[in-house]
Amino acid sequence: MTSIQVRRLTYAALYLAIAMVLPFVTGQIPEIGAMLCPMHIPALLCGFMCGWPWGLAVGFAAPLLRSVLFGMPAMFPTGVAMAFELAVYGGMAGWLYQRLPRKGGNAWIVLIISMIAGRIVWGAARVILAGLSGSSFTWALFLAGAVTNAIPGIILQLILIPILVTAMDRAGLSLN
């Protein structure tokens, strides 16, 4: 294993650990804790900093592992749908960030595209899982889950992630 591979593995493990712990921190704010989408942040950062394969893996593993270890989110359908959503976040962020020049507002462009793609995949997963369980997943439920209830998290991500990505790039911490 090369030095860069070891660093990527270490960073990815750190992002996965943050995804396990961050919901406990945001959960202390009952009114908006879950709406801050705390596991989204490490999945996106992992994609930006480590590359798409690591972002995809951390994004997919985080909700499933957290469900097994702590019982939240509930494995079915929430954890499974989130696994696909966060995998797309991390994978898309890493893939796009590697291909676009690192200047101007490109971190925001990558972030916005990744967030939209992840939410679409989350909605598709929820539709499929609802069909498997004999329930329904309506357009209103999609809008509530993907947009309305997530507005605080969306705002937090749009502010925090580009700042962190820029700072980590300047510090030479990006491995993507």
Local confidence band at 153 (pLDDT 50, 70, 90 cut-offs): very high
- Tens-digit pLDDT profile for residues 116-128: 999 999 999 999 9
How many helices (H) and strands (E) the chain has is answered by 7, 0
Which of these ranges, 64-68, 84-88, 136-140, has the smallest mean pLDDT?
A: 136-140
List domains and CATH numbers for the chain. 3-170 (1.10.1760.20)
Task: Place 102 in a pLDDT band, splitting at 50, 70 and 90.
Answer: confident
Cβ–Cβ < 8 Å for 11, 46: yes
> Collapsing DSSP states into helix, strand and coil, what is residue 134?
coil
pLDDT on residue 28: 87
Give me the pLDDT at residue 32, please: 85
Of the chain, the end-to-end C-alpha distance in Å amounts to 17
Distances (CA, A) of 175 to 8, 94, 122, 167: 7, 10, 27, 13
Task: Give the mean pLDDT of 156-160.
Answer: 97
Calculate the alpha carbon distances from 98 to 56, 77, 112, 126 in Å: 14, 32, 15, 29
97 within 8 A of 110, measured Cβ to Cβ: yes
